[in-house]
């Protein structure tokens, strides 16, 4: 059954344009960095997947966005997510994987827009360590900027940035503001994965004019079939009340399987799946 699904996707999905786009790359000592083009083009717009044009009626009023993180670390898991998940699902790539640019090309060939996951300090750091070049609240701004630029130069073609861990960092206004300001300066969006209720990302984003969206629900906090299915139903209920809901999931095989099965029922329910970039408020991308 999985092979049939993959073949169907290959036959019907329109690939996103190749990256990088001309004029949207700044050369640096660590690698290519995103930039706003001289003509005003922004990576957040150029690299985003456009919502499906044929949305109408009830489906236009009830939208759900899902982004799945942890891509690029496991070849098998990344390949499964790219090939099996609906093309409207946004994929978040960790900065530590091998051959990341090849994975980005493959993801975009299958219609997925991508985000860069930035490791940020959790409250229990260093016992819980997100990895090398983690942004920390006690570092000088210059050092966090050095780390951020290293992380942002791992690959090209992402429409925005999302946090990996980071409950303490996203709750600490000054380092968060400096980081989000740099993300904004480079023409990107920020997607908060919603794992911390203390996050000030949306508030700071509004203050500096950065487009920020926050996930409403962590879909696989309990990675079981029943729990994931229940979380997806909760996401539907949020979408019906508000018109839009955003869910975040890790790249676990069970998560991919349940999202794929759930997505097959959306059209009949009058729900449209959209890329996470489409959840940024108008005028902030």
- Cβ contact 120:170 at 8 Å: yes
Residues forming beta bridges with residue 34, ordered by sequence position: 25
Residues forming beta bridges with residue 117, ordered by sequence position: 162
What is the structure's pLDDT at 282?
72
What is the structure's pLDDT at 52?
80
* Residue 69, H or E segment: strand 63-71
Has domain 2-279 been given CATH number 3.20.20.370?
yes
Residues of the chain falling short of pLDDT 70: 1-12, 53-60, 283-285
What is the structure's pLDDT at 66?
98
Spatial neighbors of 8 by CB under 8 A, at least 6 apart, are none
Domain map of the chain by residue range? 2-279
DSSP codes, 91-126: EEE-TT-SSHHHHHHHHHHTT--EEEEEEE--TTTT
What is the structure's pLDDT at 61?
83
What is the structure's pLDDT at 4?
36
Dist. CA 52–CA 177, nearest whole Å: 33
Strands 272-274 and 90-93: unpaired
What is the structure's pLDDT at 175?
98
Per residue in 19-68, pLDDT tens? 999 999 999 999 999 999 999 999 999 999 998 865 555 556 899 999 99
Residue 154 CA: distances (Å) to CA of 32, 33, 56, 65, 121: 8, 8, 38, 25, 20
Buried b (16+ CB within 10 A) or exposed e, 111-149: bbbbbbbbbbbbeebeeeebeebbbbbeeeeeebeebbb
Q: pTM of this prediction? A: 0.93
What is the structure's pLDDT at 13?
75
Per residue in 10-21, pLDDT tens? 446 789 999 999
């Amino acid at each position: 059954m999985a092979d049939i699904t993959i073949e169907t996707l290959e036959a019907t999905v329109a690939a996103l344009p190749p990256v990088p786009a001309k004029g949207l790359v700044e050369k640096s000592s660590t690698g290519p960095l995103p930039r706003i083009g001289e003509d005003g083009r922004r990576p957040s717009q150029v690299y985003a997947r456009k919502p499906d044009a044929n949305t109408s009626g009830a489906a236009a009023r009830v939208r759900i966005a899902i982004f799945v993180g942890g891509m690029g670390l496991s070849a098998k898991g990344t390949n499964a997510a790219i090939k099996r998940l609906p093309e409207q699902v946004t994929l978040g790539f960790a900065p530590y994987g091998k051959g990341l640019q090849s994975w980005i090309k493959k993801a975009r060939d299958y219609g997925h827009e991508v985000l860069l996951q930035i490791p940020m300090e959790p409250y229990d750091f260093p016992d819980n360590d997100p990895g090398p070049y983690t942004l920390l609240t006690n570092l000088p701004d210059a050092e966090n900027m050095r780390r951020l630029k290293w992380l942002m130069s791992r690959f090209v073609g992402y429409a925005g940035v999302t946090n990996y861990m980071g409950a303490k960092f996203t709750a600490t206004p000054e380092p968060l503001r400096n980081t989000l300001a740099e993300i904004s300066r480079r023409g990107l969006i920020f997607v908060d994965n919603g794992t911390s209720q203390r996050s000030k990302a949306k508030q700071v984003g509004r203050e500096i004019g950065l487009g920020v969206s926050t996930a409403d629900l962590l879909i696989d906090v309990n990675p079981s079939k029943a729990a994931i299915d229940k979380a997806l139903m909760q996401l539907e209920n949020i979408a019906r009340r508000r018109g839009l809901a955003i869910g975040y999931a890790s790249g676990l095989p069970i998560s991919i399987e349940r999202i794929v099965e759930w997505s097959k029922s959306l059209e009949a329910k009058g729900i449209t799946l959209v890329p996470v970039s489409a959840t940024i408020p108008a005028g902030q991308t």
